[in-house]
């Protein structure tokens, strides 16, 4: 009776977790990661195109990203878009490829990035609380419509809380891993 509510809750909670993971990959940890430049789009013959569709992106060293465009005519455009992005890294261009050297993060910057990661994870927890509220409202509505007995409502509410607790725990684990990554050097 109430199982579709739980199923939908779990699906939406999984989306929240994957969005959190994706957002946290955008926080650079002093280590070069191709995911840091994936959101950058370049104007490729008048069409805004994601960077990974016009170039290969690799991390040959821990603190270096190399971007090699398949069409060398757009190398200036790629360089310009990287400079406009919020990466805070100055690209070096040799005419064939772009190098992005990542500086060592200071202790203060690491702490700032940790705060950003905590805020992102807290936003995810707020999202989970909203999902819990929606699921609880659906269950109460089912009870009012007499399609769910009171005993089943209590069981359903407990299940909803268990699901939310498990996803909150996952968020805490993901945050802990990101904090460790940020503070490890």
Domains of the chain, residue spans: 3-26+106-183, 34-101
Q: Residue 42's beta-bridge partner residues? A: 49
pLDDT digits (tens, 9 = 90+) for 11-37: 999 999 999 998 888 776 667 778 778
In tens, the pLDDT along 30-77 reads: 677 787 788 888 988 888 989 888 999 988 888 888 999 998 888 889
Number of helical H runs and strand E runs in the chain: 4, 6
- Measured CA to CA, the distance from residue 101 to residue 86 in angstroms comes to 15
How many C-beta atoms surround the C-beta of residue 127 within 10 A?
19
Fold type of domain 34-101:
Gyrase A; domain 2 (3.30.1360)
Tell me the three state secondary structure of residue 56.
strand
Q: pLDDT-based confidence at 102, cuts 50/70/90?
A: confident
* Complete edge-to-edge strand list for the sheet that includes strand 98-101: 55-61, 64-69, 98-101, 92-93
Same fold, 3-26+106-183 and 34-101: no
- Rounded to two decimals, what is the model's pTM? 0.69
78 Cβ neighbours under 8 A, 6+ residues apart:
40, 42, 51, 54, 55, 67, 69, 91, 98
Element (H, E) at 59: strand 55-61
CATH architecture of 3-26+106-183: Orthogonal Bundle (1.10)
């Amino acid at each position: 009776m109430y199982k579709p509510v739980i199923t939908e809750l779990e699906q939406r909670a999984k989306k929240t977790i994957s969005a959190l993971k994706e957002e946290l990959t955008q926080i650079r940890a002093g280590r070069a990661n191709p995911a840091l430049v994936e959101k950058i789009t370049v104007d490729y013959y008048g069409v805004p195109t994601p960077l990974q569709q016009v170039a290969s992106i690799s991390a040959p060293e821990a603190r270096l990203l190399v971007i090699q465009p398949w069409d060398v005519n757009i190398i200036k455009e790629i360089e310009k878009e990287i400079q406009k992005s919020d990466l805070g890294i100055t690209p070096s261009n040799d005419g064939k490829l772009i190098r992005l050297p990542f500086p060592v993060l200071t202790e203060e910057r690491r702490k700032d990035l940790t705060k950003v990661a905590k805020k992102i994870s807290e936003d995810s927890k707020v999202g989970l609380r909203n999902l819990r509220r929606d699921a609880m409202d659906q269950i109460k509505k089912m009870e009012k419509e007499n399609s769910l007995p009171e005993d089943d409502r209590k069981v359903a509410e407990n299940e909803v809380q268990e699901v939310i607790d498990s996803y909150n725990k996952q968020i805490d684990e993901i945050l802990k891993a990101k904090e460790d990554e940020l503070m490890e050097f």
